Amino acid sequence: MTEPFFGNFDLASLSLWLFYGFFALLIFYIQRENMREGYPLEDDDGKLSANQGLFPLPSDKTFKLPHGRGELTVPSGQNPERTDLALEKTAAGNGFPFAPTGNPMVDGVGPASWAPRRDVPELDGHGHPKIVPMAATEHFVVAAGRDPRGLPVMAGDGEIVGKISDMWIDEPEQLVRYLEIELAAPHGEGKRLVPITFARIKSDRVNVRSIFGPHFAGVPQHASPRQVTLLEEDKISGYYGGGTLYASTARQEPLLG
């Protein structure tokens, strides 16, 4: 009597080894796909790093962007990194912190840093700008809570720099993203946006503690009165975030618990 096919073959072991092989190939694939942005690696001087890792760069893949915004090919077509930053090394070796050489809030370095995003507004699923001022839409009203429009804006040093003139709404998410400040003449004319997370709405005022009165004139402006671009959003948020540390030299000193 002949042996049946696979009679002495361990099918469970085969299944296990096939799973091992599949899982190894999956890790290899996912890691290469993860390298479409930020690679090849660079050292602190902007030169190619000597240690690029175990995995090679993936071949180019072209993505067709929605709403007629063209195509994007990565990794070769990824956004270039910012260069000529106003920073200097604090030590000769790699991995040590860099120190700002100018005004870090204006130069956009450290906590005030921003990324070179596309200078176009973020769109919703229908191709319309996601973030718009409330004055430009009839779909939103303040149904509850304090309406900050008309309230004075107090900076971190106690100065009144202007008043809230509008709220900017993320329509798909149905929430407020920015407050619009109409600056008083002594603090720079025009309008500026402040992320809602940097504002504290009180009954009689809106507090913005991260920056002081003289800093409001330097808040990056948005070019259009009805929309804000991805690049402008990053610069605005970076400016207020950087002020949390750089607005005063006292904030840069260590705190003792």
Q: Between β-strands 200-201 and 206-208, what pairing exists: parallel, antiparallel or unpaired?
A: antiparallel
Q: Report pTM.
A: 0.86
pLDDT per position as a tens digit, 118-131: 999 999 999 999 99
Query: Residue 131 and residue 244: Cα distance in Å, rounded?
Result: 25
**Contact status, residue 232 vs residue 119, Cβ threshold 8 Å:** yes
Q: DSSP code of 186?
A: G
Percent of the chain at pLDDT > 90 equals 71
Query: Residue 221 and residue 59: Cα distance in Å, rounded?
Result: 39
Specify the CATH architecture of the domain 117-249: Alpha-Beta Complex (3.90)
3-state secondary structure of 72: strand
- Is residue 1 pLDDT above 60, yes or no? no
pLDDT per position as a tens digit, 182-229: 999 988 889 999 999 999 999 999 999 999 999 999 999 999 999 999
Query: Residue 38 and residue 94: Cα distance in Å, rounded?
Result: 18
Query: Residue 81 and residue 117: Cα distance in Å, rounded?
Result: 10
Q: Give the residue extent of every domain in the chain.
A: 117-249
Query: Residue 127 and residue 239: Cα distance in Å, rounded?
Result: 28
